[in-house]
Amino acid sequence: MAEGVQIYSGATDKGLEGVVACTTGVSSIQDNTLSFRGFTIEDLAENSTFEEVTFLLWNDRLPNSSELKEFKNELSKNMVIDENFFQVLKQIPTQKVHPMAWLRTSVSLLSHWDVQAQDNSETANRSKGIRLVAQMGLLVCAFEAIRNGKPMPQPNKDKSLAWNFMYLLHGGVEPKTEHVKIFDLCLILHADHELNCSAFATRVTTSSLSDLHSAMVSALGALKGPLHGGANEAVMVMLKRIGTIEKAKQFVQDALQAKEKVMGIGHRVYKNGDPRAAILRKLSQKLTLDMGEPQWYQISTLIDETMFKEKGLMPNVDFYSATVYYSLKIPVDLYTPIFAVSRISGWIAHAMEQYANNRIYRPRGQWVGKKDQKWTPIEKRNT
């Protein structure tokens, strides 16, 4: 499987664009369509749940009814944070700290409370995977509770991961059924995306036969960056800075003239539009109208259409997810951590695939530095 990045005798590609680094059966992007284990994202978004998609990513097939029930029960049983661990979490600074940095540290600490942390057997990794998926949302909600000095509500183990996240995030207020369904859909859309930056980070760490928690920490570090998971947060910051529909077109024109990046627009792989963005655009239109703030969708579409007209670029998944999350009353700086709540299912699938047929990643670098240098005594060196 992972034979390492191919080495070419010619020029290298920046960012390894177009370089095949491994074989995978987890997800694929072909003909401008994203598929998980052969199922299109449109099919799964229409019919599935996040729990079912997680099972699919890990097992290469959809579960039957008894398997799905058992899988959901396992997730529910592990939807708990040890009280001693929670007390440690309260000691991690939350002010002037990006939530992704806090989450990265929390997941690393979580391994100290996992008795199987150093066990790399398939059985142990699946058990750890269940716990990590079940607890990632709890960690994000714990951050929100701790930084606001509020108690952490107890999850309802009879409800889904999406329901519990919305419930816990908003301090124990029961979420609307429609909002839970939409948030569950967002989790599905973000669950995996072929060999993206954080998935590659997962596989590189896994290839050294490091433990699963370490691989997840590597992935979180990669996801934190504004060119990867941080883009959805940056989109909402951009929209709020623009403020009104009247200012949107000028903003785009100024950005183009200054050759500045417009966040959430363009994609390294999709050249004819991100299929996830098409789904989220419809949700954004409905939700912003429902909340009485349609201007966020209107500004977004104006940017979308102007960028396509001027540069031929289309929005990616981050662009419309920003206004969807905003409409669900999710704090802007939690958009990237929510990405992790979903994407951990895909990261674990990649780790499992890597463990199953492993070879450590060891690419080469094309030398562009000086040659034939000779050491000289310090008194003879020119400064």
Closest CA to 133 of 57, 225, 208: 57
Contact 256, 264 (CB under 8 A): no
Q: H helices of the chain, where?
A: 41-47, 50-59, 65-77, 83-89, 99-110, 122-147, 161-169, 177-189, 197-207, 212-223, 231-242, 245-257, 275-290, 295-311, 317-327, 335-356
**Residue pair 133/344 in contact by the 8 Å Cβ criterion:** yes
Long-range contact list for 358-362, CB < 8 A, 24+ apart? 358/1, 358/2, 358/206, 358/207, 358/209, 359/1, 359/2, 359/3, 359/4, 359/207, 360/4, 360/207, 360/208, 360/209, 361/2, 361/4, 361/5, 361/21, 361/203, 361/204, 361/207, 362/4
Give the catalytic positions in this structure. Answer: 267, 318
Determine the straight-line distance between the first and last CA of the chain, rounded to whole angstroms. 50
In terms of C-beta distances under 8 Å and separation of at least 24 residues, what long-range contacts does 148-154 make, across chains too? 152/81, 152/86
Task: Return all residues near 76 (Cβ < 8 A) that are at least 6 apart.
Answer: 134, 157, 158
DSSP string, 42-59: HHHHHH--HHHHHHHHHH
In whole angstroms, give the CA distance from residue 128 to residue 211.
10
d(CA 118, CA 317): 35
**CA atoms of 176 and 101, how far apart (whole Å):** 30
